[in-house]
Amino acid sequence: MFNLSLMLLLLPLLGCLFVLTSQKKGNNAHHVTLFTLGSGIFIILRLFAELDLSQKGLQFIHQLNWLESANIRLSFGFDAFALLLLLGIYISVLIGVVGLDDKSKKSKSLLAWSLYLLWNITGFLGANDMFSFYAYFAGMLVPLFMLIGSFSQLKKKNTFYLFFLFNFAGVLILLCSLLLVYKFYHGNLQLQEIALVHLPPKVAQVVWGGVCLALLVRIPIWPFHYWISNIGSNIKNPLVYICTNLLPLTGLYGFMRLWQLTIADSVRPYILLLVVFCLLSMLFIALIGIAHKDFLYKLFAYMTVFYLLFLLSEILLSSVLLADSLQMNIAYSLFIFLLVTSSLIAIDLRLEKECMEKNCEYRGILAYMPRRSKVFAFFVLVALGLPISSMFWNNFIIISALFNFNFFIGIMVMFAISLISVSILYELYMMRDLKKRATNNDIEDISQGRFAFFMVIIIIIFLSFFNPLWFVD
């Protein structure tokens, strides 16, 4: 299994190189991208088949000595949590690629940068030492900058500069924090060993304050929510939109890898402040989602509320529940969460583009498209909590645990979730309103091939209801 885990780390980079060297004629780059994503999904499933679920910690570990004079040893490995997230990410990117129009399918730069970003995310989820963790954390910003700068319709350049400033500052802050740890240890460390390094209380506060700040920059929490909401509202390419909204997932994953294993006791008194910021951000963004008319902005608000729910759960519940059990509950929810939100993004952006080209009425149009209406309505209902996926059960467990931990926090969380759920449900009603007939009936329903693809996604979601890891057995 060593070779397979190494192949998983290198596959997106190899796919990127093949895309760049593919012929410009036809859809060769698109086919290479589909093959790369399909191969990655196969490798992840194969790794799951060899995974020992009873064993805690990372498996398929690969270590590499590098710069021995500086005491730097690179370490990579995967566990069930990371593999499940990776599977959701690969399928989400595949959904984005399937949702591309004919012109975008021929864009080698779009597909190459997307695979390069996927390589950095794969390495980040597999990194088990400080140096690799930081290298992939910083490296994923380059392809993301290129994707947003080249394939978005940003009218205000200040928004892009703000995005760059926030994230670059986060990269520098994380670098300074890890360099302080390196100074006291005099070498590279595995992530779970950072807690063993003796740091003076003040230094520990600086280190872990910097780590938390660097990760929070990537999560749409106030006041860092501004950049991603404005960036997302100007992206009309489904693949770029999905890639952009994977960035908060990397910040959440960083918290889940580092919070309980390595955070210093001197930082824990500040947890209450972080909890307050999470709750206020959830309520604020849910209210904005209700007020905004654009469905994609409502979907952004929905995604933000749930990212903050998972962050809040990790902060509060890992001390009262088994850490491994909690993280797997979050992983099961995130897996379906990624599939559902990516599908909604791909379907809605394609619908919006077709409406703009045909100059037709956007509202009520789903009432005249049986295939698009079926899959779109299903994904919306799953997002709202339809009890037919693992996301329903695991979110129920997480929210119930929050109520048991603190009743007021549970009420605040449920209120935010209820607000954004009502917002999305109302949008579904407007899209299916028979009274608002489209002014141009020439707009086409989704093709039978795409309908079949989304039906496969629906089957995966349905099977997860009975056993989230059904493919392991």
pLDDT, one tens digit per residue, over 85-97 is 999 999 999 999 9
Cα–Cα distances (Å) from 91 to 118, 129, 175, in that order, read: 11, 27, 31
The answer on pLDDT for 279 being more than 80 is yes
What is the model's pLDDT at position 22?
83
What is the model's pLDDT at position 362?
64
Other CB atoms within 10 Å distance of the CB of residue 193:
16
- The dihedral formed by the CA atoms of 134, 137, 139 and 145, expressed in degrees to the nearest 10: -150
For residues 230 and 383, what is the distance between their CA atoms, to the nearest angstrom? Answer: 23
pLDDT mean over 300-314: 90
Lowest model confidence (mean pLDDT) among 278-287, 363-372, 399-408, 451-460: 363-372
pLDDT-based confidence at residue 338 (cuts at 50, 70, 90)? very high
Percent of the chain with pLDDT over 70: 87
* 457: Cα within 13 Å, side-chain hemisphere: 34
- Helices marked H in 127-270 — which ranges? 130-139, 141-151, 157-185, 201-216, 225-232, 238-244, 247-262
150 within 8 A of 131, measured Cβ to Cβ: no
For residues 151 and 268, what is the distance between their CA atoms, to the nearest angstrom? Answer: 41
The crossing angle, in degrees rounded to 10, of helices 295-317 and 407-431 is 160
pLDDT-based confidence at residue 1 (cuts at 50, 70, 90)? very low
- What burial class does residue 289 get, using C-beta atoms within 10 Å of its C-beta: 0-12 exposed, 13-18 middle, 19+ buried? buried
What is the model's pLDDT at position 263?
66
For residues 363 and 437, what is the distance between their CA atoms, to the nearest angstrom? Answer: 8
pLDDT tens-digit map of 162-200: 788 888 888 999 898 888 887 777 667 777 777 777 777
What residues contact residue 323 under an 8 Å CB cut-off, 6+ apart?
260
The answer on pLDDT for 117 being more than 90 is yes
For residues 359 and 317, what is the distance between their CA atoms, to the nearest angstrom? Answer: 50
- Please tell me whether residue 135 adopts helix, strand or coil conformation: helix
pLDDT tens-digit map of 43-90: 999 998 888 777 777 777 777 776 655 567 778 888 888 899 999 999
Other CB atoms within 10 Å distance of the CB of residue 293:
9
